[in-house]
Structure 1
Amino acid sequence: MSRGRFSPWLQRLLLAGLAAGMVLAGGEIALRGVRFSAPVQPITIVGRDGKAKPDDDRGMIPDSELQFRFNPGAEWRGRRINALGFLGREAESNKAPGAVRVICMGDSCTAQGNPPYADFLHERLTNAPPTPQPWEAFNMAVHGYSSEQGLRLFRRQTRYLQPDYVTLYFGWNDLWRSRTTDRLKLARRSGPIWGRIQKLMNRSRLYQFIVSRSQARQTPDADNYVLRVPPEEYRQNLLALVTEIRAAGAVPILITAPRASTLTPLLAANRQVARIEDAYRLHDEYCEITREVAKETGAPLLDLARIFREESLDALFSDDGIHLVKDGRRRIAEEIYKLLVELNATRSRE
Structure 2
Amino acid sequence: MRVLRAILKSLATTIVFFAAAEIGLRATYAIRTAFVRRVPLPYSVGDDYGPIPPWLDRLMILVPDDELIWRNLPNVRRTYVDIFSPAPTAAARTALLRRFLPTLPAEFDRNPTWTIALDSRGYRTGEFTNRKPAGARRIACVGDSWTFGMNVDQERTYPSRLAADLRASGANVEVLNFGVLGYSSFQGRQLLERRVLDLDPDVVLIGFGMNDSEVAGYRDRDMVGGAPPALRTRLLEDAADLEFYKLLKYSALALRFHPKSMGDFLREQAHDRGSGRVDYSAIEPWTRVSPPDYEANIREMIRLSRARGAAVVLLDNELWEESPYRALLKSIAADTHAPLVDSLRIVADARTAIERGIERDLGLAAAPRDEPAPGEGSPSPPAASGPAASAPTRVVFRVSGGRYPVPRALSIVGTDRQLGDLMPNTVSMHDDGTGGDERAGDGVWSLEASFAAGARVSYVYTNSGRAGRWEGLDVPHVRSLVVPPSRGAAPVYLPIETFGRVYMQADDWHTDATGYELIARAVADAIGQGRVGRN
TM-score scaled by structure 1? Answer: 0.68
- Matching residue within 70, 73, 96 for 1:71: 73
Residue of 307, 312, 332 corresponding to 1:293: 332
Q: Is residue 175 of structure 1 aligned with residue 220 of structure 2?
A: no
Q: Which deviations, in whole Å up to 9, do the C-alpha atoms of 1:13-68 show, x marking residues without a partner?
A: xxxxx9xx98x969968x98xx9xxxxxxxxxxx7946578765563222111121
Residue 202 of structure 1: aligned partner: 241
Change in 2 beyond 3 A, CA 1:122/1:178: same
Report the equivalent of 2:357: none
Counterparts in 2 of 1:169 and 1:280: CA distance versus 1, 3 Å: same
CA distance in 1, matches of 2:235, 2:504: 40
Q: CA deviation at 1:117?
A: 1.2
* Distance in 1 separating the partners of 2:42 and 2:174: 27
**Structure label with greater radius of gyration:** 2
Q: Distance between the aligned counterparts of 1:166 and 1:55, measured in 2?
A: 33
After superposition, the Cα gap between the structure-2 partners of 1:124 and 1:224, relative to the gap in structure 1 and judged at 3 Å, is closer
Q: Deviations over 1:197-255 (max 9, x none)?
A: 94663336558879999xx9xxxxx9797111111111111011001111121011111
Q: Post-superposition shift, 1:293? A: 1.2
Residue 340 of structure 1: how far off its partner (Å): 0.6
Counterpart residue type for residue 304 of structure 2: E
Q: Of 118, 121, 145, which residue of structure 2 is paired with 1:81?
A: 118
Distance in 2 between residues matched to 1:245 and 1:55, nearest whole Å: 36
> Would you say 1:152 and 2:182 are equivalent positions?
no
- CA 1:232 to 1:135, structure 2 compared with 1: closer, same or farther past 3 Å? same
- Comparing 164-173 and 55-64, the one that deviates more: 55-64
Matched residue count: 286
Contact in 1 for aligned 2:204/2:310 (Cα 8 Å): yes
Give, in whole Å, the separation in 2 of the partners of 1:94 and 1:189: 36
Q: 3-state SS of the aligned residue for 1:323?
A: coil
Aligned equivalents of 2:175, 2:228: Cα separation in 1: 33
2:528 aligned to which of 327, 341, 348: 341
Aligned to 2:498: none
Quick check: 1:177–1:225 contact (8 Å CA) kept in 2? no
| Percent identity (aligned) | 25
CA gap of 1:57–1:225, structure 2 versus 1, over 3 A, is farther
Tell me how far apart the structure 2 counterparts of residues 55 and 88 of structure 1 sit (CA, whole Å): 24
Which residue pairs with 2:483 in the alignment?
none
Once the 2 structures are TM-superposed, how far is the Cα of residue 87 of structure 1 from its aligned partner?
Answer: 1.2
Mark the CA change 1:27 to 1:180 in structure 2 (over 3 Å): closer, same or farther: farther
Is the CA contact (8 Å cut-off) linking 2:139 and 2:205 kept in structure 1?
Answer: yes
Distance 2:148 2:344 in 1: 18
- Number of the residue aligned with 1:102: 139
1:111 pairs with one of 121, 130, 148: 148
Could you say which residue in structure 2 is the equivalent of 1:315?
503
Q: TM-score, normalised by structure 2?
A: 0.46
Unaligned 5+ runs, structure 1: 1-17, 36-46, 217-221, 260-278
Letter in 1 for 2:505: F
Distance change in 2, residues 1:73/1:319 (3 Å): closer
Counterpart of 1:168, as a letter, is I
Counterpart contact for 1:316–1:328, Cα < 8 Å: yes
Distance, in Å, in 2 between the alignment partners of 1:248 and 1:288 is 27
Distance 1:302 1:195 in 2: 44
Q: State the SS of the aligned residue for 2:241.
A: helix
Gapped runs of 5+ residues in structure 2? 1-7, 26-40, 80-114, 257-281, 353-501
Alignment partners' CA distance in 1, 2:312 and 2:73: 27
Report the counterpart of residue 62 of structure 1 in structure 2: 64
Q: Distance in 2 between matches of 1:236 and 1:27?
A: 54
Instruction: Work out whether residues 148 and 177 of structure 2, in 8 Å CA contact, stay in contact via their aligned partners in 1.
Output: yes
Find 2:181's aligned residue among 133, 143, 147. 143
Alignment of 1:1-350 (within 5 A): 49=43, 51=47, 56=58, 59-77=61-79, 78-112=115-149, 113-114=152-153, 115=155, 116-129=157-170, 134-188=172-226, 198=237, 201-203=240-242, 205=244, 226-259=286-319, 281=322, 284-312=323-351, 315-320=503-508, 322-343=509-530
Counterpart CA distance in 2 for 1:338 and 1:292 is 21
Deviations 1:296-345 (A, max 9, x none): 2222222222333355456322131x21211111111111111111226x
Q: Give the superposition deviation at 1:291.
A: 0.9
Shift in alpha-carbon separation, 1:83–1:99, aligned structure 2, 3 A:
same
- Once residues 153 and 173 of structure 1 are traced to their aligned partners in structure 2, the CA distance between those partners, rounded to angstroms, is 16
d(CA) in 2 for partners of 1:280, 1:317:
15
Contact 2:212 2:288 in 1 (8 A): yes
**CA distance, structure 2, for counterparts of residue 223 and residue 166 of structure 1:** 31
Cα contact 1:48–1:319 (8 A) shared by 2: no
| Greater mean deviation of Cα atoms: 146-155 or 179-188 | 179-188
SS of structure 2 residue aligned to 1:296 = helix
Q: Deviations over 1:64-106 (max 9, x none)?
A: 1112111221234552211332113333332112211111111
